[in-house]
């Protein structure tokens, strides 16, 4: 295991749960944003369990850790050549039972988790879009002009900072001549680099959710919405636990947001079928055509997806819609015949068995997975396989 840096903060709350463990240890990355997200989860738990003061209380200890992805800043993520860059050390600690759960940005989690680990909770999604962040003092009539071939309001060459191949491919598709430079580091580090007068950056492309959570929402110059695809799971938080720790999963269950879980299961299935990750330019958009209410007979989710070449010249896109309350056709039997006592977990790492007590929810999740599966097959048939094969060939 790599060298770890630990910081601990403690807070206390209460619960009526009998025979419970009172000390809950939470793992997270050490970045400012990761800590903000983890404290948000702790605050949610305090609100849930703060009513029964007669029952003692929980002590939450947050252990923050520097991961491989945090330490390697001199190379783009896609060139490091490893998966789980921001999660492996945390998962090692979880499996060693040094911590009880981990709070992640869901987009950092691969679709295959280590044996013994599962995503027990996906919380309600924050804004899932990407955002343009202009350099401090750079004012444009329309911030989106900075992405166009002819940005007349800027005298020097436009330089966009991002380390995401998905964002680079989309930028190159919009403007083949745009200059894109890798930028790594924590959110506040990247913003400082952007605003440095000597840095040469004109703007950054960042996730809106991170900016909003870290109280940098005022830096959003414009949100990329039309014809722009975001990362799988972007804007959602995942809480990872050990698969044999039912106590912790039961404790966390009230934080599950079914609508977001359906979206992210569709997106992660899509990525899994394409064998994608940070080295493959894959983007998604989830849209609820009708309501996501559990009792809505017309609960229709649409997943839009794209696969792009690294230079943005080639791309295949499409979309699939499905009524999540429709009867399953058993194309994914491992999702429709879940027995908690035999196979309680894990589709794309998500503990889908958590929902088997509610037939409607389980059915919606299975249909969500089918959306991602069908969209991946559609795009592979339309030419995505050739794009992916070419990327893999050139990366070797």
- C-alpha 126/C-alpha 110 separation (Å) is 20
The encoded tokens of residue 16 equal 């009526």
Question: Alpha-carbon distance 202 to 95, whole Å?
Answer: 43
Contacts of 358 (CB under 8 A, 6+ apart): 294
Q: Tell me, what DSSP letter sits at residue 55?
A: G
Residues 284, 317: Cα–Cα separation, whole Å: 9
Of residues 70, 100, 108, 130, which has the active-site annotation? 108
Tokens at 324, concatenated = 């999540």
Please name the residue that has the structure tokens 């058993």. Answer: 330
Residue 259 to residue 361: CA distance in whole angstroms: 10
**CA dihedral sign of residues 132, 136, 142, 148:** negative
Residue 286's nearest CA partner among 322, 257, 310 is 322
Helical spans, DSSP H, in 142-285: 165-174, 187-195, 208-213, 246-252, 258-273
CB atoms within 10 A of CB 115: 8
Q: Known catalytic residue: 386? A: no
Determine contact, residues 122/256, Cβ cutoff 8 Å.
Answer: yes
Helix axes 359-379, 258-273, angle to 10 degrees: 30
Reference 36, options 70, 12, 9, 13; nearest CA is 9
CA torsion sign for 148, 314, 378, 258 is: negative
Catalytic annotation, residues:
108
């Amino acid at each position: 295991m790599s060298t770890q840096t630990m910081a601990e903060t403690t807070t206390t709350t209460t619960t009526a749960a009998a025979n419970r463990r009172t000390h809950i240890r939470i793992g997270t990355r050490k970045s400012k944003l990761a800590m903000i997200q983890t404290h948000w989860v702790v605050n949610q738990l305090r609100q849930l369990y703060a009513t029964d003061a007669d029952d003692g209380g929980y002590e939450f200890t947050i252990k923050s850790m520097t991961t491989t992805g945090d330490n390697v800043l001199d190379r783009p993520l896609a060139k490091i050549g490893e998966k789980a860059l921001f999660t492996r050390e945390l998962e090692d600690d979880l499996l060693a039972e040094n911590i009880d759960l981990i709070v992640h940005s869901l987009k950092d989690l691969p679709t295959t988790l280590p044996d013994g680990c599962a995503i027990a909770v996906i919380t309600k999604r924050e804004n899932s879009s990407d955002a343009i962040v202009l350099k401090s003092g750079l004012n444009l009539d329309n911030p989106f002009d900075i992405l166009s071939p002819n940005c007349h309001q800027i005298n020097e060459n436009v330089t966009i900072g991002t380390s995401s191949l998905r964002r680079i491919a989309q930028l190159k598709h919009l403007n083949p001549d745009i200059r894109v430079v890798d930028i790594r580091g924590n959110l506040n580090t990247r913003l400082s680099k952007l605003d440095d007068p000597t840095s040469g950056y004109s703007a950054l492309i960042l996730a809106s959710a991170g900016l909003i959570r870290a109280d940098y929402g005022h830096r959003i110059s414009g949100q990329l919405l039309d014809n722009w695809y975001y990362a799988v799971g972007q804007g959602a938080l995942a809480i990872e636990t050990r698969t044999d720790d039912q106590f912790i999963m039961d404790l966390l269950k009230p934080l599950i947001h079914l609508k977001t879980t359906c979206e992210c299961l569709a997106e992660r299935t899509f990525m899994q079928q394409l064998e994608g990750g940070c080295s493959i330019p894959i983007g998604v958009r989830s849209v609820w055509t009708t309501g996501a209410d559990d009792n809505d007979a017309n609960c229709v989710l649409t997943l839009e997806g794209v696969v792009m070449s690294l230079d943005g010249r080639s791309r295949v896109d499409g979309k699939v819609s499905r009524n999540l309350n429709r009867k399953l056709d058993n194309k994914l039997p491992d999702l429709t015949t879940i027995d908690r006592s035999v196979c309680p977990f894990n589709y794309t790492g998500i503990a889908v068995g958590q929902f088997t007590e509610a037939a409607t929810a389980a059915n919606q999740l299975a249909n969500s997975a089918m959306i991602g599966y069908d969209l991946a097959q559609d795009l592979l048939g339309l030419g995505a396989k050739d794009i992916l094969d070419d990327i893999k060939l050139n990366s070797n």
